[in-house]
Chains A and B, each alone.
Chain A
Amino acid sequence: MDLKKFGKWLASLKNEGVDTIPLEERRSFLKMGLKVTGVFAGGTILSVASKLEKAQAIPPAYVGTFPYKPHYAMVLITDRCVDCELCMEACVRTNHVPPYGWRTRIFERKIKGPEGYVRQFMPVLCNQCNIPPCVRVCPTKATVKDPKTGIVKMIPKKCIGCKTCMTACPYDMRYFNEERRAVDKCDFCWESRLSKGGKITACAEACPAGVRIFGDLADPKSKVYQIVYDPARVIWVLRPETGAKPNVFYTIEGLG
């Protein structure tokens, strides 16, 4: 098949959109460094546009150095959580979160225990991912991964309110702030506390049950480090399949 014919055949293919492509295939395809253009023939994606140079930049340029110093991280000991929502109240006070918005939330689930179902609360906040999908999709670079601390920050004046980052976030931890006309999110209290010499986030300080352990993951003396690198402890992150590599870890104390 010469190139002209191939071109014609390619042009005659129906554009099936990118929605129907299975995630796995899409990902491996993107890994090869090719763009998903929407031509999807017989279960195989076809594309002639290459963006190899972009795909080869691993880790992506916006990730910065790793580990950061300090490498801010949080451990959530979920079975200590009783959903008193004092953390959420403290967050709202500290970061002026409007009633329709959230920087952290608590979810509830029923899990099967030895004596029937037990309630478990799960606090969720921005995971400050090492490979943040929100940063990757932002068209105006209004959300950035801070090269020093690794905190995913917002630059509100650059935000055009397209909300693409809200869709990209695997944890639904972004909301559109109507007053600021910009997307808002948790920044580990960088603006309100850490940049002013604070050592701990408002939510971690407010928690009466010691669920939220905040600290420097690069410091072996910190509690966060000791918990995360404790070989006897089960540690997990939310939605690891997205490949975002979160800096918010989950564990349980075994209070069942």
Chain B
Amino acid sequence: MNRWFLLFIPLILFCFLASKPLWGQEDEEEYPQEPIIFTKPVKAVIFDHKFHVEEAGLSCEDCHEDVFEMATGTAEENEDFNMEALYNGKYCGACHDGESAFASDKKCTTCHIGVLGWQRLKRQERKTSH
């Protein structure tokens, strides 16, 4: 019994080390690495910080705190967090107006990954966390 337990200790230690490097991370983590998934009012919309920072070249101040508050889930609590508001230039619609970025009423499935896409992401997450 005890011997088996001892065998597991290095394994657990290894898992810790592999998932969480102890140094060299502080200056890189400027934005959330995991994509944000909105599930209200419809399932499910993806927002990837990585793409918007690295590909679109946005800085934190471009959206925070005017367009979106810097806490996950705050926009979803609002009554007007829907497509109508986006067409009126609120939330994502601030840029997704057809000029700065593609219009909110086009390319629906670029952001709307749906329940299927959401489930797939969850499956991937489960795989990588094990």
Binding between chains A and B: yes
Q: Is B11 an interface residue (CB 8 A)?
A: no
Q: Is A255 an interface residue (CB 8 A)?
A: yes
Nearest-neighbour CB distance to chain A for B34, whole angstroms, equals 20
- Chain A minimum-CB-distance residue to B118: A83
Band of interface residues on A: 10 to 19
A83 x B117 contact (CB < 8 A): yes
B109 x A118 contact (CB < 8 A): yes
Which of these, A86, A119, A256, contacts B106 with CB under 8 Å?
Answer: A256
Band of interface residues on B: 10 to 19
Nearest-neighbour CB distance to chain A for B15, whole angstroms, equals 33
Using a CB-CB cutoff of 8 Å, which residues 97-130 of chain B contact chain A? 105-110, 112-117
Nearest-neighbour CB distance to chain A for B16, whole angstroms, equals 36
Question: B109 to chain A: which residues have CB within 8 Å?
Answer: 79, 82-83, 118-121
- Chain B minimum-CB-distance residue to A107: B116
Can you offer 26 A-B residue contacts whose CB atoms are under 8 A? A79-B108, A80-B108, A81-B108, A82-B108, A82-B112, A83-B43, A83-B109, A83-B112, A83-B114, A83-B117, A84-B42, A84-B44, A84-B112, A106-B114, A108-B114, A108-B116, A118-B109, A118-B110, A119-B110, A119-B113, A119-B114, A119-B117, A121-B116, A255-B105, A255-B108, A256-B106
Q: Mark B41-65, 1 if CB is under 8 A from A, else 0.
A: 1111000000000000000000000
Q: Is A205 an interface residue (CB 8 A)?
A: no
Which of these, A84, A118, A208, A255, contacts B114 with CB under 8 Å?
Answer: A84
Which of these, B43, B105, B110, contacts A84 with CB under 8 Å?
Answer: B43
Which of these, A84, A118, A119, A255, contacts B115 with CB under 8 Å?
Answer: A84
B115 x A85 contact (CB < 8 A): yes
Question: A80 to chain B: which residues have CB within 8 Å?
Answer: 108
Question: B42 to chain A: which residues have CB within 8 Å?
Answer: 82, 84, 86, 208
